[in-house]
Amino acid sequence: MAVVPSKNGQGGLIFSVAANKPLLHVYSFQKNQPLHNFVLPEKVSCLDVDPNGIWCAAGTASGRVYFWEVGSGALFKSFAAHYRAVTALRFHSNGETFITGSEDSSISIWSISRIVDYEYEADVPSPLQTLTDHTLPITCVYVGFGNLASARIFSSSLDSTVKVWTIDPHTTSDSPDPSASLLVSFKFSLPIENLVADHLERSFFAATSTDAGEVFVVRMYSEKKDNSPFYALATGSIGELHDVVTSTENVLNVGSRIITIALSLTSKLLVGTQQGNILIYDTVSLQLLRTIQTSQSPAASPVTFLTTLLKPLDLLGHTQLSLSGKALEDSVPIRPVMPFGRARDVKGKGREVAIVLPKRTDPTNMEYDPFEDHMYFSSRATLTISQTPANEDPQDKILQLEAEVKQLRMNLDRAKTINDAMWENVLQSVVAQSRAMVE
């Protein structure tokens, strides 16, 4: 499941795949019925859409990755990314790369520009970098903020570890692709199923796959002892290992199996359970703040996806979505989504990208401001002076300045004339209204 937030005056979308069928459902924020239902080439195990809503990538149980363009529905690439099932897929925040994790215990970083380049459409894409330090299937991947050089990558696995990686974008003649470094590994007593890091990456939360539902809270800095200063754990010696000790201070016992976790914009921990409940915890005191029941039925469906975002524009007031091309007042257009292709697009044959242009301003509502004209002419004169050559004759420069002063006086007279006319119109309008009220 993936969410595209409202952006650039276009309504937000939700992409959801069926669990047991090769189907993709696309929803808008204001309707509980699907806008589109697409049949995919095969069943999907994970899916994500880039932050700008341009690209969509999906991983399957066969280890393949499908890559579509949302605006045209063109299938740019379908390739074997892993030897076993793809279990995690995340786009980078800059929209230039995405990351996949698999049951083969490897993590791969892929370049979008290489995948969509028609010159290499006959070639099987190769990852920019492959991370292979885990020993069991990958369960979750989290990508921090920043570009590829500064963002840190968190990965969890059934080998009971969480690893933090960094990417060095510098290349050499011997290594044309970026290199990766393992900063730190955290060893747990139980396999980790889900993880999320806070926005400043001071700590992360790792959820187990047990029925008891434990969440480990790991602070990524050392404990203060006496007068010793704090230091970060993920910027020390490369490849350091830390054992996470289980205690009441760093473990949340939810009491039911955890399906997904997320952090709110205010750093509150959200936990989705097998029983269909959403539990909200304070990340400092680890106290339960609220419980949200998604259904009153005793056989409620589990919460499989959680995320938070600012209240979107198309949910404010009585905003209406426009499904047609007609211009509706107070409407927010839906981001174009074309049917996803099942066969690979060849050289862009027949490819058409749907684009929603921004709403044009009504010329009848435009207002005239005489000061804008004055600023325009003034800036024009200043620009002329600044562009005067340094070796120009002083007498010529004086003549040029006198001509500019004469032009400015003419512009000032013109502005005064406009102002007098506007004042006369306003005065006549007020007098006419006063007379009408008296009569």
Distances (CA, A) of 30 to 66, 95, 260, 280, 321: 28, 26, 24, 25, 8
CA angle 280, 285, 289 (to 5 degrees): 25
Span 92-106, mean pLDDT?
Answer: 93
Q: What's the distance, CA 312 to chain centroid?
A: 14
Lowest mean pLDDT among 90-99, 102-111, 321-330: 321-330
User: Quick one: pLDDT band at residue 30, thresholds 50, 70, 90?
Assistant: confident
Cα torsion 251, 186, 305, 142: sign: positive
Query: E strand or H helix at 64, and its extent?
Result: strand 64-69
The pLDDT value given to residue 326: 47
Least confident of 192-196, 277-281, 407-411: 407-411
Residue type, 299: A
The DSSP result for 359-379, as a single string, is PPPPGGG----HHHHHHHHHH
CB atoms near residue 229 (< 10 Å): 8
pLDDT at 389 over 60: no
pLDDT in tens, 37-60: 999 999 999 999 998 889 999 999
First-last CA distance in the chain: 69
Res. 247: pLDDT tops 80: no
Please list the residues that pair with 88 across neighbouring strands: 101
Q: How many CB atoms lie within 10 A of CB 111?
A: 19
pLDDT of residue 380: 46
Please give the residue that has the higher pLDDT: either 14 or 119. Answer: 14
**Residue type, position 43, single letter:** K
Burial annotation 287-297 (CB, 10 A radius, 16+ → b, else e): eeeeeeeeeee
The tally of CA atoms less than 13 A away on the side-chain side of residue 340 is 27
- Which residues, at least 6 apart from 52, have a Cβ–Cβ distance to it below 8 Å? 7, 95
Strands 214-219 and 203-208: antiparallel
